[in-house]
A and B are shown apart, each in its own frame.
Chain A
């Protein structure tokens, strides 16, 4: 019998519908895999085996009657940023260790509505602040990939490192993730998986632990472009409980995957050529251009002049919002509370000092600083202005191009511990991805090749607001052309 855990989400859903196998069998296969692998990879912070089996049996009952939703019986992993009713939700933080929400996030509620099965909660950087999963209070996630000739453990990227690692190591069919500055796309690129961040407002933020409200957006990490489309279909919806949710229908994006890209105009932004960028990244990008050209696309060199300001802008806006969003973790109503304190202020300070890790504290401090009297105009207001310019850059090119192609990351996966010394080099990981968050645009990372060290590399397709369809179309073409089938050698 084939290893069910190696199936794509789309094939698994078809197999379940055809009753080739049951959801219970499939779920058990994943639970077995998780049991064997998770002690090493640390992708899951909590495995909800009982819940999974219960859901699987319910799905089987529906499938037996010829009923069921688009994801009926499909076992998924859930990033621990999504509140799940009755299941601990920590956002990777000691602050929320033991917090069991009495409510369900809209995104996960949509998945259960469509019949998905929850295997457990996936590890992540604390409050989604990080690019390597090393800031998690539950320890770093290991990337199933290793460099040729090295035994060093690599990071799967972050903040959705648990999601990416779990998908790459077949610990779930696909996973939910979230992206504030690249937290879906960078881990996807580091693990040879596909990750898409949709247009801001497509997926509801209700019940998703907030990092930076104006940037946070949920999306999937999956094995194929089609799988990511299938999962995104379910995740997105208009939600009156989120004021920034867009009241527009969600199309069936699986229809876009595989459509010809002939005649599409693809922008290649010259500002994304970085000084000191590894040659293999440049080469991969050129390869991507060549593939799309061969598929009939017209390649247009474009300019996005404010790109160089994107990272500094991001690292003002995101911490500013975070400093306010995370003020609710005060030890009063839920979450960690200091046992020893001398005053109200001391209770706040101690609870937060004990509950938050270093990176979170760093960003909250930056955020409070850029919003403080006397600095607000110079930092925050200016950052908002630059943010508008960055969005304007994109608006200016949409007349000439239908989508934009860039590398997903400036490097392949790096070793755990490598970039911890200097937070700024860690921040550089987001250099190609933050612009779409700042502009609210959809962006996907598609595995497109291997580095010289045998590590996966990704290409990013950026689309117009609400035009995920074109993004999926182009991503599908890249996937076809790249023919990326490599899987990590199992060492864990």
Chain B
């Protein structure tokens, strides 16, 4: 049975969406895949182009071993099969951003085969997305059309940069799932250090294959493997933000359902998402699709890897997000939700662990995910450029745990610390924010307040909840530094409750 949450109601009945994604992730590497030219953001036009990238006569590609290592690492992170033998193929087409007239890719024998990624849905449940393959390929250059009314300019800096294309199975069913899946892949790659995940710079982007079918047909497809149960797919190219992925899918699914409900049929085609208009538009149909004349690149030998080399990379892998989440739950007693929030960013998780050692982990988690995260966001920063040492958070929590300050005062302390006034202990000292646990001082304040408000003191006997007013007064009198538990106890005793 298809869950209701995965159904879309049309005029003529229920439909469901089926999606497969191709994620293009730029390999984090200082050099291109085959040329040794530098890779970097911010270089002037055509400053990072070798003769190989520019396709000069007699120039030959030589494979960058580091990029291969990064692909293997990524494959291991996706718990996928690493193919000991793979091969590079040429995808032939003419375009000014493609100097050789072909893109070197891996069609027939990719470096990474089948894998599975576990993705957490919004409701905390998990779903699996099958990975069909990960292959290495070259990126193309960039055309610039807005510098002149009559000419187009070519910038080849990006030409030849290594990309990993990660192809999923058609296991994604809702726009939310698609976003969660891309986020998960992005997180894994960032953990591995194989892609910086910067979607704004286009370093991670997705092609989304969307089709719709009648409710129930997806299950039939899953049972039989027969693709005819699924609808005709359209590929939305190069979507480069989570928001656009979700919007593009919603638009595209609606568009397809409307066509089908009007008795039409879907044409297999490549479409582009226009975020301004909020719609997808046809780029080219299957009939117009180019014949890429793929064939094995004769300039490159088959890529043969040794199992020992792969094992060494595997042994060196950092802890992956899933493992970290499970460990945070078991080791620190965090909820799945809290652990999930912490591990969503590797730097955040590391920060948490640095602060949580020997402290109340739940409390540390709250401070990290609430206060620290909010301040960073407000300053346009993230945990990788967090100015606040984890030790400060640890100390702050320690001060709360040992009743030196109250949780309420802690917020004030945090403000001072964030503004650079020193460590929490120094701030508490400097501003005299230490919690008053000296019962004598509290008793004195309580006595004074009761004496000044006899009528209210009498009323408390009738209405015990009114004690809150007294608590507030005592806290006010002590500048908020009184230990709330002590205040309560003393008040109760003095008021005869």
Per-residue CB contact flags for chain B residues 233-258 toward chain A (1 = under 8 Å, else 0) read 00000000000000000000000000
Contact residues, B63-117 vs A (CB, 8 A): 63, 90, 92, 94, 96, 99-102
Residues of A within 8 A of B61 (CB): 243
Indicate if the CB atoms of A244 and B62 lie closer than 8 Å.
Answer: no
Residues of B within 8 A of A373 (CB): 291, 293
Complex CA gap A332/B100 in Å reads 11
Indicate if the CB atoms of B92 and A243 lie closer than 8 Å.
Answer: no
Minimum Cβ distance to chain B for residue A215 (Å): 8
A237 lies within 8 A of chain B by Cβ: no
Residues of B within 8 A of A105 (CB): 58
Per-residue CB contact flags for chain B residues 33-47 toward chain A (1 = under 8 Å, else 0) read 000000000000000
B56 lies within 8 A of chain A by Cβ: yes
B497 lies within 8 A of chain A by Cβ: no
B264 lies within 8 A of chain A by Cβ: no
Indicate if the CB atoms of B57 and A210 lie closer than 8 Å.
Answer: yes
Minimum Cβ distance to chain A for residue B372 (Å): 49
| Residue on B nearest A102 in the bound complex, by CB | B51
Per-residue CB contact flags for chain A residues 322-337 toward chain B (1 = under 8 Å, else 0) read 0110011010111000
Residues of B within 8 A of A345 (CB): 94
Residues of B within 8 A of A101 (CB): 56-58
A213 lies within 8 A of chain B by Cβ: yes
B300 lies within 8 A of chain A by Cβ: yes
Q: A324 and B51 in contact (CB under 8 A), knowing A89-B57, A372-B291?
A: no
Complex CA gap A99/B291 in Å reads 31
A320 lies within 8 A of chain B by Cβ: yes
Residues of A within 8 A of B291 (CB): 372-373
Minimum Cβ distance to chain A for residue B106 (Å): 15
Which of A141-149, A201-209, A287-295 sits within the interface? A201-209
Complex CA gap A207/B52 in Å reads 10
Contact residues, B245-298 vs A (CB, 8 A): 291, 293-295, 298
Contact residues, B314-366 vs A (CB, 8 A): none
A380 lies within 8 A of chain B by Cβ: yes
Residues of A within 8 A of B102 (CB): 324, 327
Residues of B within 8 A of A344 (CB): 96
Indicate if the CB atoms of A371 and B96 lie closer than 8 Å.
Answer: no
Complex CA gap A323/B101 in Å reads 10
Instruction: Select A332's contact among B58, B62, B63, B96, beta carbons within 8 Å.
Output: B96
Indicate if the CB atoms of A380 and B295 lie closer than 8 Å.
Answer: yes
Complex CA gap A327/B101 in Å reads 5
Residues of B within 8 A of A209 (CB): 57-58
| Residue on A nearest B300 in the bound complex, by CB | A243
Q: A328 and B99 in contact (CB under 8 A), knowing A243-B299, A243-B300, A244-B301?
A: yes
Residues of A within 8 A of B90 (CB): 324
Q: Tell me how many residue pairs across A and B have CB atoms closer than 8 Å.
A: 99
Indicate if the CB atoms of A324 and B92 lie closer than 8 Å.
Answer: yes
| Residue on B nearest A90 in the bound complex, by CB | B57
Minimum Cβ distance to chain B for residue A463 (Å): 22
B436 lies within 8 A of chain A by Cβ: no
Q: A91 and B99 in contact (CB under 8 A), knowing A102-B51, A244-B301, A320-B295?
A: no
Minimum Cβ distance to chain A for residue B293 (Å): 4
| Residue on A nearest B63 in the bound complex, by CB | A243
Indicate if the CB atoms of A213 and B295 lie closer than 8 Å.
Answer: no
Complex CA gap A323/B299 in Å reads 14
A47 lies within 8 A of chain B by Cβ: no
Interface size for B (C-beta < 8 A) is 28
| Residue on A nearest B100 in the bound complex, by CB | A328
Minimum Cβ distance to chain A for residue B60 (Å): 5
Residues of A within 8 A of B299 (CB): 205, 210, 213, 243-244
Per-residue CB contact flags for chain A residues 187-225 toward chain B (1 = under 8 Å, else 0) read 000000000000000000111111011100000000000
Interface size for A (C-beta < 8 A) is 43
B54 lies within 8 A of chain A by Cβ: yes
Complex CA gap A2/B291 in Å reads 62
Complex CA gap A320/B297 in Å reads 11
Minimum Cβ distance to chain A for residue B151 (Å): 12
Minimum Cβ distance to chain B for residue A222 (Å): 23
Q: A99 and B60 in contact (CB under 8 A), knowing A332-B96, A371-B295?
A: no
| Residue on B nearest A201 in the bound complex, by CB | B301
Complex CA gap A371/B92 in Å reads 10
Indicate if the CB atoms of B92 and A327 lie closer than 8 Å.
Answer: yes
B55 lies within 8 A of chain A by Cβ: yes
Minimum Cβ distance to chain B for residue A301 (Å): 34
Interface on chain B toward A: helix, strand, loop, or mixed SS? loop
Complex CA gap A330/B62 in Å reads 23
Minimum Cβ distance to chain B for residue A63 (Å): 31
Indicate if the CB atoms of B57 and A99 lie closer than 8 Å.
Answer: yes
Q: A243 and B58 in contact (CB under 8 A), knowing A320-B295, A324-B293?
A: no
Residues of A within 8 A of B490 (CB): none
Complex CA gap A244/B297 in Å reads 11
Minimum Cβ distance to chain B for residue A438 (Å): 12
Complex CA gap A240/B301 in Å reads 13
Per-residue CB contact flags for chain A residues 412-442 toward chain B (1 = under 8 Å, else 0) read 0000000000000000000000000000000
Indicate if the CB atoms of A242 and B60 lie closer than 8 Å.
Answer: yes
A492 lies within 8 A of chain B by Cβ: no
Residues of A within 8 A of B63 (CB): 243
Complex CA gap A241/B300 in Å reads 11
| Residue on B nearest A206 in the bound complex, by CB | B60
Instruction: Select A207's contact among B58, B154, B300, B301, beta carbons within 8 Å.
Output: B58
Complex CA gap A214/B60 in Å reads 12
Q: A333 and B54 in contact (CB under 8 A), knowing A243-B63, A243-B301, A371-B92?
A: yes
Complex CA gap A330/B100 in Å reads 9
Minimum Cβ distance to chain A for residue B90 (Å): 5
A376 lies within 8 A of chain B by Cβ: yes
Q: A213 and B298 in contact (CB under 8 A), knowing A330-B94, A344-B96, A348-B94?
A: yes
Indicate if the CB atoms of B101 and A328 lie closer than 8 Å.
Answer: yes
Minimum Cβ distance to chain B for residue A327 (Å): 2
Minimum Cβ distance to chain A for residue B398 (Å): 57
| Residue on A nearest B289 in the bound complex, by CB | A373
Residues of A within 8 A of B300 (CB): 243-244
Instruction: Select B58's contact among A206, A321, A330, beta carbons within 8 Å.
Output: A206
A311 lies within 8 A of chain B by Cβ: no
Residues of A within 8 A of B62 (CB): 240-243
Instruction: Select A83's contact among B57, B92, B94, B100, beta carbons within 8 Å.
Output: B57
Indicate if the CB atoms of A372 and B293 lie closer than 8 Å.
Answer: yes
| Residue on A nearest B51 in the bound complex, by CB | A103
| Residue on B nearest A103 in the bound complex, by CB | B51
Minimum Cβ distance to chain A for residue B61 (Å): 7
Per-residue CB contact flags for chain A residues 283-316 toward chain B (1 = under 8 Å, else 0) read 0000000000000000000000000000000000
Residues of A within 8 A of B58 (CB): 82-83, 101, 103, 105, 205-210
Residues of B within 8 A of A242 (CB): 60, 62
Complex CA gap A212/B489 in Å reads 92
Interface residues of chain B, those whose CB is within 8 Å of chain A, are 51, 54-63, 90, 92, 94, 96, 99-102, 154, 291, 293-295, 298-301
Pairs A–B under 8 Å by Cβ, sample size 24: A91-B57, A99-B57, A102-B51, A103-B58, A207-B58, A214-B298, A241-B62, A243-B61, A243-B62, A243-B63, A243-B299, A244-B301, A321-B298, A324-B102, A324-B293, A327-B94, A332-B154, A333-B56, A333-B99, A344-B96, A371-B92, A371-B295, A376-B293, A376-B294
Task: Knowing that A103-B58, A213-B299, A243-B299 touch, tell me 4 more A-B residue pairs with CB under 8 angstroms.
Answer: A89-B57, A209-B57, A243-B62, A332-B99
Q: Which 4 residue pairs are nearest across A and B when measured between Cβ atoms?
A: A327-B101, A213-B298, A371-B293, A214-B298
